[in-house]
Amino acid sequence: MPERFEEVHSIPLWLLRDYLTEVGGEADGENRVVGDGWTAVLTKLEPRQVGSLRVGRVKIEFEGQPDALTHMQTQFHKKTMRAGA
C-alpha cells in the first residue's frame, strides 16, 4: 500500500486525531486512526524552537489505497488550513 508522510506544525496531536475522525476515520488508540481504505499514525515530535518561540510538531504517516488517501487528504487539508494575518 502506498505511504505518504506529512509534518504538521502548531496543531496538537489530539486535534489532528479529531480532524481525522471527522473525515471518516475511527480512533484506534491515541496515535492511530483507521478509515475506509486508509490508516494514519500520528507521532508527536520535539517542538521546533526559533529564539524564544516554540512550535509543536506532529508527523503523520498515511497508508492506504491511492483513491481513498487522495479523497481523505483533500478533506483533511481543508481542516488544517490556517489563515495568516
What is the second-level CATH architecture of the domain 3-80? 2-Layer Sandwich (3.30)
C-alpha grid cell, residue 55: 512550535
Question: Rounded to two decimals, what is the model's pTM?
Answer: 0.89
Q: Where are the domains of the chain?
A: 3-80
C-alpha grid cell, residue 35: 478509515
Return the amino acid letter for 23.
Answer: V
pLDDT digits 0-9 by tens, 32-79:
999 999 999 999 999 999 899 999 999 999 999 999 999 999 999 999
Strand ordering across the sheet containing 32-35:
3-9, 53-64, 38-50, 32-35, 26-27
pLDDT band for position 83 (cuts 50, 70, 90)? low
Distance set, CA 14 to CA 2, 57, 65 (Å): 25, 12, 25
- Average pLDDT estimate for 25-31: 96
